[in-house]
Amino acid sequence: MHTLFDPAHLTATPWPKRWLWLGFFALALAGVFSIVLVMARTPQLSMLKELFSVALVVHVNLLVLVWFLALAGMCWAYLANRSGKAWPYFQGGAFWTTAAGAALMALSPLDPHWIVIKSNYIPVLDNPLFLGGLALLFAGMVVALLPLLVAQPPEAKSLRGMFACGIYILGGIVAVALVCFVLTAMRMPPGLPRDYYFELSFWAGGHGLQFAYTQLSMLAWLALLAALAFPPNERAKRWLGMILSLNGFAALLLIFGFSFYDVGGPGFMEFFTKHMIYFAGVAPILMAFYVARMLWLIRVPPHAYRALWMCLLMSLVLFAAGGVVGLLIQGQNVTIPAHYHGSTVSVTIALMGLAYLLLPHFGYASVAGSRLAFWQPVLYGAGQLLHVVGLAVSGGYGVLRKDPGSYGEGITVAKAMMGVMGLGGLLAVIGGVMFVVVVYKSVSTASPSGRG
Ligand code: HEM
């Protein structure tokens, strides 16, 4: 199998594997919280409503911050190994700090102070456990990025070099997001109400992180394509490198928001929203066209890697659904989580495929040809599509986001469509459980020597 990750550098230190495990546990735990969300949000079930807000905070942060950033951490650890220096203190420090932060955030509902602030990008539980965990997570990201600053950037001559450059740019994008968080904090006007304070704190950096997630998704798409015996030719390689760089360049423009506007002043938030509307989709859409064409040419995937092929396909389908629903957003209704789920679940399925691809390199059994792994993205993806459609249509009837008591105007239709959302959500939960089972099978059937 051709892999864009050089296997020797993946396993030169235990850190890439540990990051993958951190991401895996975050994803699995977040799945449990999504059951609470679905039960509270589905009118036909209408249970556990009092837990909705807290479950939402943990669900979003474990997924959008920990799961995605842990997989980014895996890529950077690989890059650090590839640079020839293992940077053991940085790698260990980054991993354990991030893991401690993630654990605190997951445990934060145990603190009886359940003041939930449903800020965009990073909703928070306003208690010391959660905020301490979030601070540690950001600190872990800073330490993870430091070796990239010192190491020489990779050369893009070979295919693997181009891929490594894409990972390097991913680091640059997360650095831009972190700078946005810091600049916002430094220039924050005093005396803001607590909820607006958090909303403003995470606005610019949160937008930056969206570019990191699409970069991560594009890297996963490329790794999966290459494994399906479809490495690009020289010309395509150049174009793909340019698309990955374009995304990094677009993210860099975010910094201008701080030159033109005062934090919290007129036009500040709008700048970042407009920047996202104009730029966030460009690179991933170009890349998605390339991947779709390659998938078309592959037609019948090699049996041993059919799960990778299905992950790619479902990731593209969800990406398209998220994009279309994004165009329909008007107001603060559930069309917004419909768009989020299309887009972020597209990244998630691509990363699930990446996990299937990398498990054998980490010494576990190959599962990419198994029937269970093939059907897993189908169930997860189809469930999420229903979830997205249910939310999007209900949004059209004015059902409010993040509010389990809202049924909108056309109550009967909206309730029925929120039922569809719940059904899709439960199917996706089953797809999530299947992912855990597939990974468990891979780990449990590996030869003892391979477990490392
Ligand atoms: C089994 C799969 C999943 C289910 C059943 C599920 C379910 C839900 C539900 C019911 C909500 C509340 C929507 C509302 O009432 O406003 C929600 C919110 C959210 N979920 Fe998920 N989710 C799943 C997977 C994911 C994944 C994989 C991600 C990202 C990686 C994600 C990111 C989010 C975000 C960002 C929100 C907040 C949306 C907003 O701000 O309006 N979810 N989820």
State which amino acid sits at residue 195.
D
**Model pLDDT, residue 7:** 93
Query: pLDDT at position 451, please?
Result: 46
Angle at alpha carbon of residue 379, lines to 376 and 382, rounded to 5°: 140
The preferred substitution site among 27, 33, 34 for testing ligand 1, maximizing ligand atoms within 8 Å of CB, is 34
How does pLDDT run across 199-209, given as a tens digit for each residue?
A: 999 999 999 99
Q: Is 291 exposed, middle or buried (0-12, 13-18, 19+ CB in 10 A)?
A: buried
Q: Read out DSSP for 295-328?
A: HHHH-SPPGGGHHHHHHHHHHHHHHHHHHHHHHH
CA distance 11 to 17: 8
Model pTM? 0.96
Nearest residue CA, atom 37 of ligand 1?
337
| Of 154-158, 168-172, 243-247, 431-435, the least confident | 154-158
Distance from C-alpha of 147 to C-alpha of 73, rounded to nearest angstrom: 12
DSSP string, 209-251: HHHHHHHHHHHHHHHHHHHTT----HHHHHHHHHHHHHHHHHH
The more confidently predicted of residues 407 and 99 is 99
Please give the pLDDT value at position 274: 96
- Residue ranges lining ligand 1, Cβ < 6 Å: 31, 34, 37-38, 41, 56, 59-60, 63-64, 334, 336-337, 340-341, 344-345, 348, 401-402, 425, 428-429, 432
The pLDDT-based confidence of 447 (bands split at 50, 70, 90) is low
Mean pLDDT of 287-302: 93
Q: Check if the beta carbon of residue 426 is closer than 8 Å to that of residue 38.
A: yes
Q: What is the DSSP letter of 331?
A: S
pLDDT of residue 304: 92
Among protein residues, the one whose CA lies closest to atom 38 of ligand 1: 337
> In the predicted model, what is the mean pLDDT of the chain?
94
From the list 159, 148, 163, the residue with the least C-alpha distance to 73 is 148
Mean predicted confidence (pLDDT) in 253-275: 96
Both tokens assigned to 253: 């423009």
User: What share of the chain in percent tops pLDDT 90?
Assistant: 83
Other CB atoms within a 10 A radius of the CB of residue 183 amount to 17
Q: What is the pLDDT of residue 1?
A: 66
Count CB neighbours of 121 within 10 A.
Answer: 22
Average pLDDT over residues 400-404: 87
CA distance 280 to 347: 14
Distance 81 CA to ligand 1 centre (A): 34
CA atoms in the 13 A half-sphere facing the CB of 231: 12
Atom of ligand 1 nearest to the CA of 428: 1
Q: Nearest Cα to 298, choosing from 377, 201, 346, 230?
A: 230
User: Which residue, by CA, sits nearest to atom 32 of ligand 1?
Assistant: 60
The count of C-alpha atoms lying within 13 angstroms of the C-alpha of 386, restricted to the half-sphere facing its C-beta, is 19
pLDDT at 450 exceeding the cut of 70: no
Give the number of other CB atoms < 10 A from CB of residue 205: 24
Q: What are phi and psi of 333, to 5 degrees?
A: -110, -175
Instruction: Give the distance (Å) from ligand 1 centre to CA of residue 402.
Output: 10
Share of residues in the chain with pLDDT > 70 (%): 98
Q: What is the rounded CA–CA span in Å between residue 112 and residue 219?
A: 41
Q: Which of 54, 60, 120, 429 to mutate to test the pocket of ligand 1 (most atoms within 8 A of CB)?
A: 60
Which of helix, strand or coil describes residue 117?
A: strand
**pLDDT of 35 over the 90 cut:** yes
What number is the average pLDDT over the span 322-337? 92
pLDDT for 114-150, tens place per residue? Answer: 899 999 999 999 999 999 999 999 999 999 999 888 8
pLDDT of residue 449: 46
- Report the separation in Å between the CA atom of 48 and the middle of ligand 1, taken as the mean of its atom positions: 16
Q: What is the pLDDT of residues 348-395, one digit of tens each?
A: 999 999 999 999 999 999 999 999 999 999 999 999 999 999 999 999
CA separation (Å) from 324 to 60, 276, 335, 341?
22, 15, 11, 12
Residue pair 219/166 in contact by the 8 Å Cβ criterion: yes
Tokens 């468990």 label which residue?
A: 440
34 CA to middle of ligand 1, Å? Answer: 7
Nearest Cα residue to atom 22 of ligand 1: 34
- Which three-class secondary structure state does DSSP give residue 14? coil
- What single-letter amino acid sits at 402? K
